[in-house]
Every structure is written in C-alpha cells, then in structure tokens.
C-alpha cells in the first residue's frame, strides 16, 4: 500500500479542513466558560469543528461535557472488541504573542509553509492524524482493533481534559501523541510548577533612603512559555536611568522603552519567547529586567523580590544556581523557566517556576532544594504541582511497529528520543510522542510566525496512516 500517494489524492481537502480549523482562535478563555464549555466558547468551536468532520466521515463520536471529544473508527474483531489504539491530539492553542508577519488566525501559505497559531502545535498534526484515520476507513483496510482519535481542549494549561478522560474512559492498548518530534519520543521529563512567594512586607529599619520605589513588576502569562515581555513601574526622579536602560537594552541585543508620567516611570523590556522545555532558546524578559533594576537604588522589599530572580535564575537554565541541577542519559538535564512574575507594592510578590526534570530525578529532592534556596531570600514555596516522568521501554512491540512505519515511509532510521516537553502520552499507559516535526527542522511551537511545512504535513499523514494500520491490525 502506497500511503503517501493516497494522501496526495486528498491534499486539497486536508489543507482546506486544516485552514478552517486554524481560523478558530481556540485559546482558553475563562471569561466565556460555562458548564457546557469549560474552556470557553472558542475552544468549544474548535472541538465542534473536529467532531462535525468526524460525523461526516461516519465515525462514531462523543463529546464529554466540553472537556474532550473523540472519533472512533470501529474495526475491531469480536475477540478484541474492547481494545483500541489511541491518537492523542489537542485543539487548544497558546496566545499569539509577538508581532506576526501575517495575522496568526488568518492562515497564509508562504514558500511552502502554512503560517498560523496552532499550525504545528497541534492543529496541523491533529488534522494529519484525522486524515490518517479517514484514509484507513476509505481504503477499507482490515483492522483487529478500533482506532480512536481523541481531541483534547486543555493541553496548554493543565491537561484537565485528558485527566478527565482518564477517569471516565477505558485506556488504550497503545497509541501516540502527534505533538512533538519524529522519530519517537519514548521518554518525557517530569514537570513541576513551583510558586515562590515573597514573605517580607517590611522595609528594614535603618535603611538609607532609596532613590526609587518599585510600584509593580510583571512578566509572563503562561507557565509553559518563556516571558517575552516584562514591565516595571518605578517612582522617583528618573535622572540618567533612561540612558542606562537604553545602553543595557542595546548591549543585550533587545528592545525596550520608558514612558513617564510625572515621577512615575514604566520600563518595558522585550525578550524572546520560547517553550518552557527549552528556556535556553529564549531570552527571559523578566530576568533581564530584574537584572537591570538591581543596578538602581530601590526600596528594600523590591530588592528582596528582585534578588531571588537575578541570583537564582538569570542566565542559568539548569538549576545550578539553586543547587538542583541533575542529568541522566535518558532524558538529559533538568531545566528551569521562571515563567510568571508578579509584584505589587503593599501586595503580593511571587515568581512562578516551570521545571522539567529527568526520569531519574526525585521530585521530593527538587522541591526540598528549592525550598532551602528560597529561605535565604525570605521566600517560601506557596504551591507545588508535579507531573511524574514517563517512559516506555524501547523494546516494546508498539515501539517496534512505530519504528517500522517511520522507516518505511522515510527511509531513515527511527531512533528513540527523549523530551523536556510534556504531551498527553505521559498520561496514558503505553503511549509515546510521535512527530510531527522532522529531524533537522525548526520547532516553532509557542513562537511568533508559527508554521508547518506542507510537505511535512503530507509525509506525517502517511506515516500516521501506516503506523495506525500496523498498530490496529
């Protein structure tokens, strides 16, 4: 069976359906959530879009209270009627920050690339997987197991959708999430969210008068993104601070500005966003702005807040400064992203960390190490959320089937990889991440001008069709 030729016959329809999906601004929206639409109306529209397409293809479908939906190709033999292969996709996207060349929710093809928010994470791969299942049905290929494509709605901000799915539905015998890199990611790092809260609310007696008071400091919107922009408002006589800031921004190859109103001054610094799993590929605007501000004469509480950021995280992505660095041969090094910054004079001050840690590391040891370091700066751990690492043995039959499909479609060796990203695969047994970014290609997820190459979209669809055929038959 030449799966790739069959995909080419369906290219126009695939691109048309994907374009319609990409036009939906399916970011999580608490302002429009309801009992029927827990992630907001736009995410609900994207879910409805995929379920409508599935119904048109004759798949059996389900929508569970807006948390998730699925479409199932029923081909199981009587002896395997309770078994299915799962494809774990998501239709929610992160906000489209930054200055895009073309509007992020008006898909545009340029030089063989389809640009839009969600093109690679994860709507493009979702549609590739959908067309792979569609192709199996249209070719009437014999299957021993059902194939179920699951549409998640909250992958980017907590995965409550698949956690709910796990409680309600039976588990698959195996499957994959098309939400990472090819060939196969069989191990995923653990993920820990740690809220570091400033405890001091006083100015120490005897302190020399400060030239500036920090009124507020903010940066970042999502724990899985490196903050692209940070803002601070200071009160005082600006003097030569403007020149110093201009020099700092220029020296670091960044952009920023200062706007003033009487004695109040807003400093804005722009870094470079990237995914939390690879914080070293971005420039953390919050860390940079904190580093600059500590060169000024500030009130004592502000210095306490900023000192932790600067000495704990600035230009250290691997937890060395705070004594929690760890590395293994399966998943590589621990990484740390200070993702969200919040400080108000007379109010709360905190830094939200997102950590990705190796399969051999212990969550308890990491938390204890962070707590010990925070104590030196009058901080405490306010909240911890942990997701354990995930690992499927490389000799598992499912892995061998996925390797075979990839190698037959590409002619390339299907090596086993690990990742600092967390996909749905880590929440269900015997599942792995499988594409859709090919080796040597740039991963543009969570970045401005996100795209997926059309040739790669077609190749991924063929790989998924062959892989699902092997897994289900």
Model confidence over 391-449: pLDDT tens digits?
A: 998 999 999 999 999 999 999 999 999 888 779 999 998 999 999 999 999 999 989 99
Dist. CA 303–CA 329, nearest whole Å: 39
Dist. CA 463–CA 129, nearest whole Å: 9
Model confidence over 200-247: pLDDT tens digits?
A: 765 544 455 789 999 999 999 888 899 999 999 999 999 999 999 999
Specify the pairing of strand 180-181 against strand 436-437. Answer: parallel
Specify the pairing of strand 431-433 against strand 174-177. Answer: parallel
Residue 401's contacts (CB-CB under 8 Å, 6 or more residues apart) are: 467, 470, 471
Dist. CA 182–CA 285, nearest whole Å: 31
Q: Concatenated DSSP letters for 49-111? A: HHHHHHHHTT-EEEEETTTEEEEEE----GGGTT-EEEEEEE-------S--SS-TTS-EEET
Kindly state the tokens that stand for 445: 């997820």
CATH number, domain 3-188+390-472, options 1.25.40.10, 3.50.50.60, 3.30.70.3040, 3.40.630.10: 3.40.630.10
Is the bond preceding 460 in cis, omega lying within 30 degrees of 0? no
pLDDT for the residue numbered 207: 56
Measured at the alpha carbon of residue 444, what is the angle toward residues 389 and 39, in degrees to the nearest 5? 65
Enter the pTM of the model. Answer: 0.74
- Under a CB-based contact definition with an 8 Å cutoff, are residues 233 and 216 in contact? yes
What separation, in Å, do the N-terminal and C-terminal C-alpha atoms of the chain show?
A: 14
Average pLDDT, rounded, for the chain: 94
- Looking at the annotation, which residues are catalytic? 92, 155
Name the architecture of domain 191-387.
2-Layer Sandwich (3.30)
Domain boundaries, the chain: 3-188+390-472, 191-387
């Amino acid at each position: 069976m030449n799966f790739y030729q069959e995909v080419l016959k369906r290219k126009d329809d695939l691109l048309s359906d994907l374009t319609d999906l990409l036009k939906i601004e399916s970011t999580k929206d608490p302002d429009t959530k309801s009992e029927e639409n827990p992630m907001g109306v736009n995410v609900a529209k994207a879910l409805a879009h995929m379920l409508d397409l599935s119904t048109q293809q004759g798949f059996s479908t389900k929508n569970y209270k807006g948390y998730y939906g699925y479409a199932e190709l029923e081909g199981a033999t009587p002896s395997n009627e309770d078994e299915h292969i799962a494809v774990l996709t998501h239709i929610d996207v992160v906000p489209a920050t930054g200055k895009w060349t073309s509007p992020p929710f008006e898909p545009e093809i340029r030089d063989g690339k389809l640009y839009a928010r969600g093109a690679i994470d994860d709507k493009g791969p979702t549609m590739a997987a959908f067309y792979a299942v569609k192709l199996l049905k249209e070719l009437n290929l014999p299957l021993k197991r059902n194939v179920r494509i699951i549409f998640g709605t909250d992958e980017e901000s907590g995965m409550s959708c698949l956690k709910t799915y796990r409680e309600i539905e039976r588990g698959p015998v195996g499957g994959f999430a098309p939400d990472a890199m090819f060939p196969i990611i069989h191990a995923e790092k653990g993920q820990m969210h740690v809220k570091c809260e400033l405890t001091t609310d006083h100015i120490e007696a005897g302190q020399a008068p400060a030239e500036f008071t920090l009124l507020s400091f903010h940066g970042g919107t999502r724990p899985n993104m490196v903050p692209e922009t940070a803002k601070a408002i200071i009160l005082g006589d600006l003097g030569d601070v403007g020149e110093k800031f201009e020099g700092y921004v220029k020296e670091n190859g960044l952009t920023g500005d200062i706007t003033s109103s009487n004695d109040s001054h807003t400093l804005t610094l722009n870094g470079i966003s990237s995914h939390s799993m690879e914080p070293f590929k971005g420039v953390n605007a919050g860390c940079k702005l904190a580093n600059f501000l500590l060169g000024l004469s500030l009130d004592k509480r502000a210095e306490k807040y900023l000192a932790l950021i600067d000495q704990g995280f600035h230009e250290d992505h691997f937890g060395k400064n705070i004594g929690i660095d760890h590395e293994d041969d399966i998943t590589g090094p621990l990484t740390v992203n200070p993702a969200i910054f919040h400080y108000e004079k007379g109010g709360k001050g905190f830094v939200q960390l997102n950590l990705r840690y190796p399969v051999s590391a212990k969550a308890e040891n990491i938390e204890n190490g962070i707590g010990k370091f925070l104590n030196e700066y009058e901080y405490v751990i306010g909240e911890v959320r942990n997701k354990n690492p995930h690992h499927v043995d490389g000799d598992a039959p499912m892995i061998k089937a996925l390797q075979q499909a990839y190698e037959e479609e590409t002619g390339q060796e299907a090596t086993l990889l690990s990742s600092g990203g967390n996909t749905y695969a880590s929440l269900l047994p015997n599942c792995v991440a499988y594409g859709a970014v090919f080796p040597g290609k740039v991963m543009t997820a969570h970045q401005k001008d996100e795209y997926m190459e059309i040739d790669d979209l077609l190749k991924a669809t063929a790989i998924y069709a062959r892989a699902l055929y092997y897994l289900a038959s």
